[in-house]
Amino acid sequence: MELYLELTKDIRFTEGLKSCMNCGICTAICPAAEFYDYDPRIIACTVQSKDNKKIEELLKSETIWYCGECMSCKTRCPRGNTPGLIIMALRNLSQELGFFTESEKGRQQLAIKRTVGENVVYKGYCVLPESLIPELHPELGPVGEWIYENSGEVYKRVGANYKGDGEGALRKIPQESLDEIYRIFEITGGFDRFDKIEHFSKIKAESMGFPEGGDDYSDYVNHIFTTNNGKHNRQ
C-alpha cells in the first residue's frame, strides 16, 4: 500500500501540507514540543519525503500521539501548512490499519473510544457529570468531589436541567435524537472506526497477556488509561 497516496485521500492532509521548507516555526510555537520529545517539523518533513517505510514507522510510533491539536502551528506557518491537520490524517490512517496498537500512546485510543466516543452516541454529550468520578479525576479537587456527590442539588442551584426533559444545561437528550445520532454513526463510518479500534485492541490485549475475562478487557483498558513508561518527555 502506498501510504502517502492513502494520506492524500484525507482532506485534512491536503489542506495541512502545502509545501514545508523546514523552517521549524511550528516546533517553536508548539506546546507539545515543549513537553514531549516531539517535533512537528520532522513530521511534515517525513510525510513530504513520500518514503513508505518512514511513513509506516511514523504510523506505528509514539510521536504522532503527542500533538494536542491546539492548531497553534496553523497561525504561524509562513507556507500555510498545518502540522496539526497532518497529525489528524496520520492518526486516522494509523487506526484504519491497526498500527495504533504498536505504541503506548496509540493504544489509549480504546479508552477514549469507550468513554468520550460512546458518550456521544449513547448520551449525546462528550462528557457527563456521572463520568467525572473523583478517583479518575483527582485534579478536579474537593470542589469537584462535592459536585459529584451532590450533583442533583448543585446543578439545580445554578439553573441546569440535569437529566430533565425539555431545554437546559445537561438535559436528557430525547431518545429519538439519540437514534438519529446512532444512524449517523452507522452511515458515515463512525461505527466502523469504533469497530476497528475494538478489533485491533483486542488482538493487542491478548498478545500482552490481558485476557478478555467476562469484562471486555477492562484490565487492559485500566492499563492503557494509567500507564506511562516515563520515556515520552523532552529531557
Partner 1 sequence: MKREGKIQVWKDYQKEIADDHYFYVRSCIRQNFFPGAEQTFLKILRSELGKDICENPHHTSCSGIAYHADVVPFDTIQTIAARQFALMTEAGYQNFAVSCITSFGIYSEIIETWKEYPSELEKIRNYLKRATGREFEVPQNVAHASDIVYKFREDIANKKKFPLINQQTGQPLKIVEHIGCHYSKMFPAKGVGGAEFPNVLVGMIESWGGEVVDYPERRHCCGFGFRQYLVMSNRGYSVSNSRKKFESMEPYKPDAILCNCPGCPMFMDRWQYVIEEMEGKTYGENGQGIPVLTYEELAGLVLGYDPWDLGLQMHQTNCEPLLDKIGIQYDSSLKYAGKDGKLIGKPAMVGC
For partner 1, the binding residues in 32-51 under the rule CB under 8 A are 32, 34-36
Nearer to partner 1, 31 or 211 (CB): 31
- What residues does 233 pair with on adjacent strands? 36
Nearest C-alpha neighbor of 197 from the set 127, 95, 97, 115: 95
In terms of Cβ atoms closer than 10 Å to its own Cβ (0-12, 13-18, 19+), residue 11 is exposed
Residues 175-194 within binding reach of partner 1 (CB under 8 A): 176-178, 180-181, 183-190, 192-194
Nearer to partner 1, 4 or 125 (CB): 125
Residue entry with cell 491537520? 85
Mapping DSSP to helix (H, G, I), strand (E, B) and coil, where does residue 158 land? coil
Q: How far is CA 225 from the centre of its chain?
A: 12
Tell me how many residues contact partner 1 (CB under 8 A): 93
H-state helical runs in the chain: 3-8, 11-16, 25-29, 31-35, 40-48, 52-59, 72-76, 83-97, 104-107, 109-112, 118-123, 141-149, 151-157, 175-188, 190-207, 218-226
Choices 19-27, 40-48, 53-61, 156-164 (CB under 8 A): range interacting with partner 1 = 156-164
Nearer to partner 1, 10 or 56 (CB): 10
> Pick from 53, 78, 166, 209: which binds partner 1 (CB under 8 A)?
166
Residues 7-26 within binding reach of partner 1 (CB under 8 A): 10-12, 15
Determine contact, residues 200/193, Cβ cutoff 8 Å: no
Nearest approach, Cβ of residue 49 and partner 1 (Å): 23
> Pick from 6, 54, 102, 225: which binds partner 1 (CB under 8 A)?
225
Nearest approach, Cβ of residue 44 and partner 1 (Å): 17
Residues 70-99 within binding reach of partner 1 (CB under 8 A): 70-72, 74-75, 82, 88, 91-92, 95
